[in-house]
Structure 1
Amino acid sequence: MVNNVLWTGGWDSTFRVLNLVLDKKKTIQPYYVNDPVRPSTEMEKKTMDKIRKLMIEFDPSAKERILETIYIKKEEIPENESITTEYKKLANSSWRLGDQYDWLPRYVAASSITNLELSVHNGDKAQKMIDQDVEKVEDGDDSYYRLVDNPSQPEFCIFSYFRFPIIDITKLGMEEVAKKGGYDHIMEETWFCHTPRKDGKSCGLCNPCKAAADEGLARRVTTPTKVDKAKYFLFKVKRRIKKSL
């Protein structure tokens, strides 16, 4: 069986990839969505290439267990009015759910994939949202969580398209597992910032940077200057204008 994993090169999805390939000796099929709006796309691709090489150096047999990444063009994902309507209910609520929970379910709905894994972790906004509406499924020497058949809110149906294998572990918990497995140095090569600086460092201002700092990985996050803050504010304004056109 092949595990279909959405991989971004970030801390959470990379942990899932390493845990599957190195610890559990599973074969994975990575998926990556090209988002032309996000400035970190090229950085994420370079990070995944580097991590793939490090995995093979760590365990040469890993080469056979990590398939070539399937790249998806975000702009080519089919529309799905039903999914988008339910997503907007959550996006416009106090949860302010990110737009990946619109186009990712639309992609899965239009594809033949039935078991795409999202690396939502303990402490993630989505985890807090659906924590009482998921059930654990044992799958041999592995396990994952899935949305229950009748969730407390109908709009949670957008989460039914995915499996959540690490929803019960924190970022620091992942670090401990990686240390025991001897591949924590590979985890240090992960990239999570959505708006990297020109010098290749994290911005320290985007939501993934803030989450990393809040959840015990402050060492990985650059402290932003006043100039950084001004540039980030300008970027956010330009992005809102672009998305509204």
Structure 2
Amino acid sequence: MHDGNNRHDHSRATEPASIEEAGVNLLWTSGWDSTFQLLQLLLKHRLPVTPYYLEDSSRASTSTELQAMQRIRDALYDAFPETRALLRPLRRFRVADLDSDPDISEALRTIRSRVYLGSQYEWLALFCKHHGMADIELSVHIDDKVQAVLAPFVRAYDQGGKYRSFRMDPCHADKAEYTLFRYFSFPLFQIDKRAMARDAERADWSWIMDMTWFCHRPVRGMPCGACAPCVYTIDEGLAWRVPRSRRALSYLYRKLALPLKPPLRAALASVRRR
């Protein structure tokens, strides 16, 4: 009897935890997309969430992003007390502490030979590989450049019976895209920012979404209008989030400076290959 009970207990201990128990790992930056997914997980699906944040010392917005996350957390606790038990402490890691990996670096170079992707995708993959994380949510969405890159390589799946998400299909394991993005799931793969805004308004979350932050180079506490996230925010239908004066500057930047970036990158890559 005693041995039988031990075997039974061991069997139960090795059963995988349900999503309601284990929760969801989410890369959260305080930005529009990841905050929208955070609200869906907490308020719509009622799931525990462990948020992760990677600190990039070269980014001037780090302190602003952390402050925004704290404001959002405080607002959730006040308006939705049940989230105190669901939203777990933020887990912070430094990009500077990540070890390099030749396979991941080569994967990014291969993709960049066809289309430019930011270096954050390399260090996000490095982080996941280093910490043995095989399923963390990355808020890739429609109109996001990387969404178009990954579209031929993903497959849909059911996330614990709660919602539909997407992952890299293992049948593409020989592709650079799989090497770089195999660690992530993409719950926002079929929605754009404007649809998120409409959904947030219907759910009465707009006031929380207004607390999000996106600019990488804030000027006197306001979005700069010229960094990549500011440009994407304007191009993807949320121009109202950038101050009017900065929108004018952004227009000039996108018309005059932005078109020069691709040839400059190509020239720099050519020099490095010599």
TM-score by length of 1: 0.89
- Relative to structure 1, the CA distance from residue 152 to residue 107 in structure 2 (aligned partners, 3 Å threshold; closer, same or farther) is closer
Pick one of 133, 137, 143 that aligns with 2:157: 137
Q: Deviations over 1:65-119 (max 9, x none)?
A: 000000011011121111111111223x242100011111111011132211100
TM-score by length of 2: 0.80
- Name the residue aligned to 2:205: 183
Counterpart amino acid of residue 66 in structure 1? L
The one of the two structures with greater contact order (alpha-carbon pairs below 8 A, sep at least 6) is 1
- Name the residue aligned to 1:25: 46
The structural deviation recorded for 1:150 is 2.7
Residues in 2 aligned to 1:94 and 1:221: alpha-carbon distance in whole angstroms: 31
The structural deviation recorded for 1:132 is 1.8
1:100 matched to 2:120? The reply is yes
- Name the residue aligned to 2:74: 53
Q: Deviations over 1:133-177 (max 9, x none)?
A: 111101202221001113397111211111111111100111111
Counterpart amino acid of residue 97 in structure 1? L
- Name the residue aligned to 2:223: 202
Q: What are the within-5 Å matches in structure 2 for residues 83-122 of structure 1?
A: 83-91=104-112, 93-122=113-142
Q: How many residues align?
A: 232
- Name the residue aligned to 2:33: 12
Show structure 1 runs of 4+ deviating over 4 A: none
Q: Which runs of 5+ in 2 are unaligned?
A: 1-21, 262-271
Judge conservation of contact 1:146–1:160 (CA < 8 Å) in 2.
Answer: yes
- Relative to structure 1, the CA distance from residue 128 to residue 201 in structure 2 (aligned partners, 3 Å threshold; closer, same or farther) is same
Give SS of 1:168's match. coil
Higher helix share: 2
Residues in 2 aligned to 1:120 and 1:62: alpha-carbon distance in whole angstroms: 24
- Name the residue aligned to 1:239: none
Residues in 1 aligned to 2:59 and 2:111: alpha-carbon distance in whole angstroms: 22
The structural deviation recorded for 1:216 is 1.0
Counterpart amino acid of residue 134 in structure 1? V
Judge conservation of contact 1:77–1:103 (CA < 8 Å) in 2.
Answer: yes
Residues in 1 aligned to 2:171 and 2:82: alpha-carbon distance in whole angstroms: 42
Judge conservation of contact 1:135–1:146 (CA < 8 Å) in 2.
Answer: yes
Q: Deviations over 1:6-46 (max 9, x none)?
A: 00000000001011001111100000001000111110000
Larger radius of gyration: 2
Judge conservation of contact 2:56–2:95 (CA < 8 Å) in 1.
Answer: yes
Residues in 2 aligned to 1:79 and 1:112: alpha-carbon distance in whole angstroms: 15
Q: Which runs of 5+ in 1 are unaligned?
A: 237-243
Q: Share of identical aligned residues, percent?
A: 33
Residues in 1 aligned to 2:45 and 2:200: alpha-carbon distance in whole angstroms: 13
Give SS of 1:150's match. helix
The structural deviation recorded for 1:123 is 0.9
Residues in 2 aligned to 1:210 and 1:64: alpha-carbon distance in whole angstroms: 36
- Name the residue aligned to 2:23: 2
- Name the residue aligned to 1:240: none
